[in-house]
Structure 1
Amino acid sequence: MIKNLYLAVGLPLLSYFCTTYGLKAQCNIVDSFSENFDTYSAPESIVPTCWERLVLNGASQIISSTQPASGSSQIYQTGYGSGKVSVVIMPRISNISAGTHQFRFKAKANSGGGFLEFGYITDPADASTFVVLQPITILNSSYDASSERTFTVPITVPDGARLAIRNPGTSFAGHYWDDAVWEPIPNLGTDDMITPDPKIYPNPFHDVLHISDIKNINSVTLHDATGRVIRTVGKPENQLPVGDLKTGAYFLTLYYKDGSTKSSQIIRK
């Protein structure tokens, strides 16, 4: 059908047809990217070329021009409450599990703060294949000094997976993010690559959590499953008393002295 359109009326109509009906040119796999969304107009565009999105149960996700971090545009995701989920899926990258790169972006939220999740998706057509790497609690309503976040990606992420940001629909906030970058980890030397991450144990836990190595950690934050901050501990010790928590799933986020973060899901039994 497309070939016949091209022969009959030429490339302009073919281009229109591909845009209107969502047909994309072949997208190359890249080893880095930097996207500020400024070549995409609000609100007609949804996500950049070679990105994807999933929207469930009436959630909203568009390109927005509401005071972006830079330039003229940014990503907007809102869920309007429970179950209204949106997932923005980044382009295919060749080195997702190499341990040499990091993801960096800037985020803000209205309505008293919001909650997103950074992770990866193994099937861009199936929202249930999204895996959380780190929860993102957003308290700032403008792009300020706290808006930039940097995430490392573990080498256990499967090859072929794609980085993604999910709004799980746990708040009514409008979530905005901009200046998304997949880049080499600065000053990554041999020693950095072989240094093991601190171990958090036992998991499931009961009364006390142990953190094996805290010398490079500035603070620790505990979130519940909806992203609400339960506790923040500055200058943590190797043992973290948590016997007052209810049974269930939580996220423990370690904030390192170099500005990076690491989040792990933990279970209170």
Structure 2
Amino acid sequence: MIKNNILFAGLIAASIFSSGSLKAQCAPVSEFSENFDALFCCDFGVVPPCWNSYYTNDGGNQIISNTSPASSPRNVYQIGYNKVSIVIMPTLTNINAGTHHFKFKARVSPGSTPGFLEFGYMTDAANPASFVVLQPITIANGTYDNTSERIFEVPTTVPANARLAIRNPGTTWVGHYWDDAVWEPKTALSTNDLKLNDFKIYPNPFTDFITLSETKEVQQLKITDVSGRLIKIIEKPSSKINLSELKAGIYFMTIDFKDGKSQTIKTIKE
């Protein structure tokens, strides 16, 4: 789990943030499924009832768009270099129970470079500085295809009063679209999902080499740094990979499987 991005340290003065959707507190829920189809374009910060949103006054952009949604007719759109926006999900009764996971479908504007969002949580829905990253999300697909769906685990160490959130940290110019956000029991996992969760990269930390616990079903390995910059793509990787050229630091290894699923693992090079 990564601590709050340094980016926010210089941005969090209250004067630079607008609340796109500050709604009354709703009763916590144990599950939700949201396709955003009841919402309309194009005011900034529009989110469903019991959700919240934030965007920077200097150009942060988060709207509801009807551009190629995963499930017609609408989806969320976030864009803006150095312009931060956050979409905050409903209060949950079981955020740290270890019984549920979050999933959604995401894409970027066709023909653009890979996009970068962050899945995490906020300990104070009224304070954007309280956002904590759980997993970075590198998005390369320009359409909603068989690689669009992402599944995220939530550690049991997350505070019980936290709210899950998706943040665009503003590190790219790319337009990000996402749809079909679901908080559901892990029992809904397929056999392939269970195999995905067993996947390992070791040793971690590593020095020059990493080993993949399974390669038969792996299509490619993408390596990004903590800023979301794509460092390397390895097509059909072997089980042992030489990464001696990488500098010491934190890297995120995104494994794309042949069945369209993906998994991101935080690694440290010493």
TM-score range, shorter chain: 0.7 to 0.9
| Cα offset, 1:63, TM superposition | 1.3
Verify the 8 A CA contact 2:103 2:181 in the aligned structure 1.
Answer: yes
Say yes or no: does 1:161 pair with 2:166. Answer: no
Say yes or no: does 1:228 pair with 2:230. Answer: yes
How far apart, in 1, do the equivalents of 2:259 and 2:160 lie? 27
Q: Which residue of 2 aligns with 1:104?
A: 103
Verify the 8 A CA contact 1:150 1:259 in the aligned structure 2.
Answer: no
Instruction: Quote the RMSD (CA, aligned, Å).
Output: 3.1
Cα separation, partners in 2 of 1:132 and 1:216, compared to 1, 3 Å: farther
| Cα offset, 1:243, TM superposition | 0.9
Alignment gaps of 5+ in structure 2: 1-19
Instruction: After TM superposition, list the pairs within 5 Å mapping 1:125-140 onto structure 2.
Output: 125-140=126-141
What amino acid is the match of 1:54?
A: Y
| 1:219-261 residue CA offsets vs partner (Å, 9 max, x unmatched) | 6432122241523363552x44211112333112345788765
How far apart, in 2, do the equivalents of 1:210 and 1:120 lie? 31
Question: What SS class does the counterpart of residue 183 from structure 2 fall into?
Answer: strand
How far apart, in 2, do the equivalents of 1:85 and 1:232 lie? 30
| Cα offset, 1:142, TM superposition | 2.2
Cα separation, partners in 2 of 1:146 and 1:187, compared to 1, 3 Å: closer
Q: May I ask how many residue pairs the two structures share in their alignment?
A: 241
Instruction: After TM superposition, list the pairs within 5 Å mapping 1:47-86 onto structure 2.
Output: 47-56=47-56, 57-79=58-80, 81=81, 83-86=82-85
Cα separation, partners in 2 of 1:256 and 1:145, compared to 1, 3 Å: closer
TM-score, normalised by the number of residues in structure 1: 0.76
How far apart, in 1, do the equivalents of 2:189 and 2:178 lie? 26
Verify the 8 A CA contact 1:65 1:74 in the aligned structure 2.
Answer: yes
What amino acid is the match of 1:52?
A: N
Cα separation, partners in 2 of 1:99 and 1:257, compared to 1, 3 Å: farther
Instruction: After TM superposition, list the pairs within 5 Å mapping 1:2-151 onto structure 2.
Output: 24-44=23-43, 46-56=46-56, 57-79=58-80, 81=81, 83-110=82-109, 112-113=112-113, 114-151=115-152
Cα separation, partners in 2 of 1:68 and 1:196, compared to 1, 3 Å: closer
Alignment gaps of 5+ in structure 1: 1-20
TM-score, normalised by the number of residues in structure 2: 0.75
Question: What SS class does the counterpart of residue 129 from structure 2 fall into?
Answer: helix
Instruction: After TM superposition, list the pairs within 5 Å mapping 1:160-239 onto structure 2.
Output: 160-185=161-186, 186=188, 198=200, 200-203=202-205, 205-209=206-210, 213-214=213-214, 218=218, 220-225=221-226, 226-232=228-234, 234=236, 236-237=238-239, 239=240
| 1:59-107 residue CA offsets vs partner (Å, 9 max, x unmatched) | 111111222222222111011x2x2111111111112222222212111
